[in-house]
Every structure is written in C-alpha cells, then in structure tokens.
C-alpha cells in the first residue's frame, strides 16, 4: 500500500491499466519487473511524473502534480498497422478525458484525450506509444 502522494498517483494509474480488457488478454510489461517480450502483441507501461505547480502561497496548500502514463502497444512486425492502431484506440477509450481515479486520499484525473504517437518500427515489433496526461491536486 503506498504511503506517498507519488505512490498513490502511480497506484491509481496502474490499477486502471490492470482493468483494461482486450480479447485475447495482452501480457503487460510493468516498470522494473522482469518481462520476456512475447512474439505477439503486448503492452509496456511507463510512468513519467512531470512537474509540480504551486497554485497557492501557503506552505501547506496543495500543489498541482502533472505527469504522463505512457502505454506502448507492441504488435508483431510486418503484419500491418491495424492491430496496434485498434489496441491503441481501445486504450484511448479506456482513459477518457476527465476520468477520475483514486488511491487512498489522492484523486487523479485524466487532463485531456490520450494521444497516440507516430508508430515506431524495429525488427520484431510495431510500436504505437499512447500518452495519457494526468493531474492530481494535493
């Protein structure tokens, strides 16, 4: 169980990722957890805390905490773009603008519609990065 604001933010985001359903189920690579990439489709989760903004003058007043949850959608290389694009779209739908997630005392809100970036090709996979921008005010 997290005890810090950052820990609660990450817990709320990761819980939402765990709730993502796709048929067939997709293996997920979590940060700093051993993972052997399969030959087929899978997801990679990256949490990028970004910046904190001081909204008020009081020493104990809340801060706006911004960041990005990035989910990489990996599909087999040389099999077209549709599979990865559709999965990326499903992830975008799973994290709509203004979605509220909670962990302990922390409320995390998706700032705007997620953004799928230009695909990246390597020798084994076609990668579509999906960035979900969030904020928490605490």
Give residue-wise pLDDT tens across range 48-85. Answer: 999 898 888 888 899 999 999 999 999 999 999 999 99
Residues sharing a CB contact under 8 Å with residue 37, sequence separation 6 or more, in sequence order: 29, 74, 124, 125
Strand pairing of 42-54 and 28-29?
parallel
Angle formed at CA 113 by CA 104 and CA 65, multiple of 5 degrees = 40
129 pLDDT band, cuts 50/70/90, is very high
Q: Give the span between the Cα atoms of 69 and 120, in whole angstroms.
A: 18
**Res. 90: pLDDT tops 90:** yes
Nearest partner of 134 among 106, 88, 102, 97, judged by Cα: 97
pTM to 2 decimal places:
0.94
- Average pLDDT for 36-48: 95
Q: Which domains does the chain have, with CATH numbers?
A: 5-137 (3.30.2000.20)
Q: What is the DSSP letter of 24?
A: S
Neighbours of 29 (CB within 10 A): 17
- Mean model confidence pLDDT for the chain: 95
Q: What is the pLDDT of residue 5?
A: 95
Q: Give the span between the Cα atoms of 46 and 69, in whole angstroms.
A: 6
- Average pLDDT for 21-43: 95
Q: What is the DSSP letter of 81?
A: S
Q: What is the pLDDT of residue 122?
A: 84
Tokens 């990865």 -> residue = 84
Phi, psi angles (nearest 5°) of residue 49: -60, 135
């Amino acid at each position: 169980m997290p005890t810090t604001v950052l820990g609660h933010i990450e817990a709320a985001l990761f819980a939402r990722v765990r709730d993502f359903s796709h048929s067939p189920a997709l293996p997920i690579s979590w940060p700093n957890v051993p993972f052997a990439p399969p030959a087929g489709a899978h997801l990679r989760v990256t949490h990028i805390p970004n910046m904190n903004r001081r909204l008020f003058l009081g020493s104990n007043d809340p801060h706006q905490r911004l960041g990005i949850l990035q989910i990489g959608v990996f599909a087999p290389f040389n099999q077209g773009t549709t599979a990865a694009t559709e999965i990326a779209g499903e992830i975008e739908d799973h994290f709509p603008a203004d979605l509220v997630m909670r962990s302990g005392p922390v409320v995390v809100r998706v700032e705007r519609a997620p953004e799928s970036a230009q695909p990246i090709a390597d020798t084994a996979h076609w990668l579509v990065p999906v960035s979900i921008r969030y904020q928490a005010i605490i």
